[in-house]
């Protein structure tokens, strides 16, 4: 199993009447609700928590990209990842990912991911999302029905830039480049492992299967609601005649651990409510620009994951969210049981653990994270013994890696230098 500690980086100061006074947490969210001075502490606390997860033995630390979004203040995940590459030792740096259709030219992603891989000593997991309609179409102005074509071209260009050993010309429809020759290139060969976040687009299944990429379903609705979608993925894997390694799939799950189930509710319910009521308050007109999803996907009935259930999330209580599986919360034993159900049920080897939720303060987050790392994670380690050696979807770091801050405390004297370079 691979457990990645993931932080969406929500803005923790949305007011109580946010839903009533604002139509959307995303795209046209009120500028005045962001306080740059407060964000100084928010960012640093969130990065501290990601670094803390590394010390507890999580396999990865995860970041992602959203724009103009009150629950994800990470328009550039690579900036956070660069900090993590320096300050963490062993965890994979899981950037899930860069919305490659938005970069002009996308060789920028090939370069920045290469830099992250080099700085971290080969610890990068590269994610290539198409990006949500909110981010890609409404914030970044991409034409919905051409987004996938542009995405595909960006992907082909990045992979070619990573794997070609001499300069080449790239005559694409969206990118005309005479001299592609990225410098630096990644440590991991032939390329860093690639994860593709998807929300039920059927074309994405084949794309992952064809390229040996891991398919990541990043939903906030929990594992019970994900079953139908993941069944569709595994059915396609089977029909295509490839192996059913659980590492072909990843799943994001909100997880909250306390000593007892009751304590979990007492400690975390307000933060869960903050996330599901305020943070997911997205104006439905932004959820799905016409042409963004393919006809085939709409016809399979996969309605947008951002469309809230009838009546809205506000009516969901802690009990509803826990029983409905949106949130896995409770004592270590409760969480272990439910995680086991999730992992077996969906056949997923990569878990993106959403362990910071809403406006959760750092102390509660550390408490929950530590309990999970010490009392839950070890018991889930060997869920897939048959696939223990499958490393096609995970990092291959250098054996000997340097860590940040290795310089001597003092600069050498001239005499010392003279001896060194005599």
Partner 1 sequence: MELKTVQTRHVPVRYLEGGFGPDLVFLHGAGGITAEDPFVNALAAKFHVYAPLIPGFGDSEECPEIRDMLDFTLHSWDVVEALGLKDPVLVGHSMGGMIAAEMAAIAPNDLTRLALIGPPGLWDDDHPIVDFFTLMPFEMPQYLFHDPAAGAAMMSSGRSMEDPGFLQAYLVTNARQLGMAGRILFPIPERGLAQRLYRIKAKTVVIWGDSDRFVPPFYAHGFKKGIKGAELVSIPEAGHMVTLEKTAQVVDAIVRLG
Q: Which of residues 168, 283, 384, 387 is near partner 1 by CB under 8 A?
A: 283
Restricted to residues 120-139, the positions that interact with partner 1 (CB under 8 A) are: 137-138
Both tokens assigned to 48: 């501290």
Residue indicated by tokens 């809403």? 358
Nearer to partner 1, 141 or 408 (CB): 141
Q: Contact at 8 Å (CB) between 273 and 358? A: yes
Place of tokens 């900036």: 79
CB of 301 to partner 1, least distance (A): 7
In whole angstroms, the minimum distance from the beta carbon of 297 to partner 1 comes to 9
Q: Rounded to the nearest whole angstrom, what is the least distance from the CB of residue 169 to partner 1 in the complex?
A: 22
CA 256 to mean position of chain CA atoms: 18
Residue 271: burial class (beta carbons within 10 Å; 0-12, 13-18, 19+): buried
- Contact string 226-265 vs partner 1 (x = CB under 8 A): ----------------------------------------
Question: Is 290 a binder of partner 1 (CB under 8 A)?
Answer: yes
Q: Which is nearer to partner 1, 137 or 395 (CB)?
A: 137
Does 311 interact with partner 1 (rule: CB under 8 A)?
no
The binder of partner 1 chosen from 16, 40, 143, 244 (CB under 8 A): 143
Using CB under 8 A as the criterion, what x/- string covers residues 147-176 for binding partner 1?
--x---------------------------
**Cβ closer to partner 1: 23 or 379?**
23
Q: Closer CB to partner 1, residue 126 or residue 302?
A: 302
Count the site residues for partner 1 by CB under 8 A.
22
Q: How far is the CB of 284 from partner 1 (least distance, A)?
A: 7
Q: Which of 144, 324, 345, 397 binds partner 1 (CB under 8 A)?
A: 144
Closest separation in Å from C-beta 249 to partner 1: 27
Least Å from the CB of residue 173 to partner 1:
8
Taking CB under 8 A as the binding criterion, the range among 54-62, 86-94, 225-233, 287-295 that sits at the site for partner 1 is 287-295
Residue 412 binds partner 1 (CB under 8 A): no
**According to the binding rule CB under 8 A, does residue 141 interact with partner 1?**
yes
Residue (149 or 340) nearer to partner 1, CB: 149
- The nearer residue to partner 1, 171 or 299, going by C-beta atoms, is 299
Contacts of 29 (CB under 8 A, 6+ apart): 22, 68, 69, 70
Is residue 284 close enough to count as binding partner 1 by CB under 8 A? yes
Q: Per CB under 8 A, does 203 bind partner 1? A: no
Binding residue for partner 1 (CB under 8 A) from 79, 146, 228, 404? Answer: 146
Select from 31, 171, 299, 413 the one that contacts partner 1 (CB under 8 A).
299
**Between 45 and 294, CB nearer to partner 1:** 294
Whole-angstrom Cα distance, residue 84 to residue 163? Answer: 25
Stretch that binds partner 1, among 8-16, 232-240, 295-303, 363-371 (CB under 8 A): 295-303
Please write down the HEC assignment for all residues of the chain: CEEEEECCCCCCCCCCCHHHHCCCCECCCCHHHCCHHHHHHHHHHHHHHHHHHHHCCCCEEEECCCCCECCCCCCCHHHHHHHHHHHCCCCEEEECCCCHHHCCCCHHHHHHHHHHHHHHCCCEEEECCCCCHHHHHHHCCCCHHHHHHHHHHHHHHHHHHHHCCCCEEEECCCCEEEEECCCCCCCCCCCCCEEEEECCCHHHHHHHHHHCCEEEECCCCCHHHHHHHHHHHHHHHHHCCCCCCHHHEEEEEEEEECCCHHHHHHHHHHHHHHHHHHHCCCCHHHCCCCCCCCHHHHHCCCCCCCCCCCCCHHHCCHHHHHHCCCEEEECHHHHHHHHHHHHHHHCCCEEEEECCCCCCCHHHHHHHHHHHHHHHHHHHCCCCHHHCCCCCCCCCCCCCCCCCCCCCCCCCCHHHHHHHCC
Among 190, 241, 301, 408, binds partner 1 (CB under 8 A): 301
The footprint of partner 1 (CB under 8 A) covers 137-138, 141, 143-146, 149, 283-286, 289-295, 298-299, 301
């Amino acid at each position: 199993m691979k457990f990645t500690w993931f932080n969406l980086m929500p803005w923790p100061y949305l007011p109580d009447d946010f839903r009533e006074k604002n139509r959307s947490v995303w795209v046209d969210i009120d500028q005045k609700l962001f306080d740059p001075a407060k964000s100084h502490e928010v960012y640093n606390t969130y990065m501290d928590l990601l670094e803390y997860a590394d010390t507890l033995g999580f396999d990865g630390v995860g970041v992602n990209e959203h724009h103009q979004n009150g629950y994800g203040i990470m328009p550039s995940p690579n900036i956070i990842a660069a900090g993590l590459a320096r300050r963490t030792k062993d965890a994979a740096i899981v950037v899930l990912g860069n919305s490659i259709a938005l970069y002009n030219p996308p060789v920028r992603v090939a370069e920045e991911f290469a830099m992250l891989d080099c700085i971290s000593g080969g610890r990068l997991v590269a994610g290539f999302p198409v990006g949500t309609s909110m981010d890609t179409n409404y914030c970044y102005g991409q034409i919905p029905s051409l987004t996938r074509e542009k995405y595909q071209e960006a992907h082909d260009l990045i992979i070619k830039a990573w794997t070609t050993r001499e300069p080449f010309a790239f005559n694409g429809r969206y990118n005309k480049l005479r001299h592609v020759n990225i410098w630096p290139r990644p440590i991991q060969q032939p390329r860093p492992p690639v994860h593709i976040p998807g929300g039920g687009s059927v074309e994405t299944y084949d794309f992952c299967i064809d390229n040996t990429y891991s398919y990541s379903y990043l939903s906030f609705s929990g594992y019970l609601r994900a079953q139908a979608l993941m069944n569709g993925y595994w059915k396609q894997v089977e029909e295509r005649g490839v192996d059913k390694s659980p590492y072909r799939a990843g799943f994001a799950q909100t997880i909250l651990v306390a000593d007892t189930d009751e304590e979990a509710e007492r400690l975390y319910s307000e933060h869960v409510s903050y996330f599901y009521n305020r943070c997911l308050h997205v104006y439905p007109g932004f959820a799905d620009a016409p042409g963004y999803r393919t006809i085939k996907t709409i016809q399979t009935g996969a309605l947008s994951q951002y469309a809230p259930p009838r009546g809205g999330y506000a009516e969901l209580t802690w009990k509803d969210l826990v029983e409905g599986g949106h949130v896995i919360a409770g004592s270590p034993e409760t969480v272990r049981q439910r995680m086991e159900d999730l992992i077996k049920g969906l056949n997923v080897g990569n878990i993106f653990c959403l362990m910071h939720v809403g406006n959760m303060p750092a102390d509660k987050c550390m408490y929950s994270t530590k309990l999970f790392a010490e009392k839950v994670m070890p018991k889930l380690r060997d869920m897939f013994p048959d696939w223990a050696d499958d490393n096609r979807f995970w990092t291959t770091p250098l054996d000997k890696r340097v860590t940040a801050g290795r310089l001597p405390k003092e600069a050498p004297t001239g005499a010392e230098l003279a001896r060194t370079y005599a």
